[in-house]
Amino acid sequence: MPRGTPAKPGDVSIAQNGYSYTQTDLGRRLTHHLIAEESLGRPLTGNERVSFADGDRTNFDPTNIVVTVKHEQSINKRLTKINNKIHELQKERSELLTAQRNLKAQKAREK
């Protein structure tokens, strides 16, 4: 749709942030929100958040659209961060233990 052309209901545009917006009779709405509302069979509530399960803002498969309660989403996001950090630390620990074993073996050979 060219700039300056009035949008009609159903017109879709993609913002610079990568999110897709669909023009409705009530104004522009995030496309994934509309899909979530259709799947739920009701409008979203104020404390519900909608996200993409795979993080791909162009994947509008209804199974990829996840609705969570705001607090629940915050908890899930924090848990994901913690789990990623645990994974990084376990990897670093493993590397350090290997280095420690190698040093001990090297010292034993030098004796």
pLDDT in 10s for each residue of the chain, 111 residues:
567 788 899 999 999 999 999 999 999 999 999 999 999 999 999 889 999 999 999 999 999 999 988 887 778 888 889 999 999 999 999 999 999 999 999 988 887
Say which DSSP state 6 is in: P
- For residue 96, tell me if it sits in a domain: yes
CATH classification of the domain holding 44: 3.90.75
Task: State the pLDDT at residue 75.
Answer: 80
> How many CB atoms are located within 10 Å of the residue 7 CB?
15
Task: State the pLDDT at residue 2.
Answer: 67
What's this model's pTM, rounded to 2 decimal places?
A: 0.61
Cα-based angle 57, 61, 64 (whole degrees, multiple of 5): 65
- For residue 36, tell me if it sits in a domain: yes
- For residue 3, tell me if it sits in a domain: no
Task: State the pLDDT at residue 1.
Answer: 59
Could you list the residue range(s) of the whole structural domain that residue 68 is in? 12-110
- For residue 7, tell me if it sits in a domain: no
Q: How far apart are CA 97 and CA 91, in angstroms?
A: 10
- For residue 18, tell me if it sits in a domain: yes
- For residue 2, tell me if it sits in a domain: no
Task: State the pLDDT at residue 105.
Answer: 92
Strand order in the sheet with 20-24: 12-14, 20-24, 27-30
- For residue 4, tell me if it sits in a domain: no
Task: State the pLDDT at residue 30.
Answer: 97
Q: How far is CA 73 from CA 20, 44, 52, 57, 85, in A?
A: 21, 15, 12, 17, 18
- For residue 5, tell me if it sits in a domain: no
For the chain, what is the domain count? Answer: 1
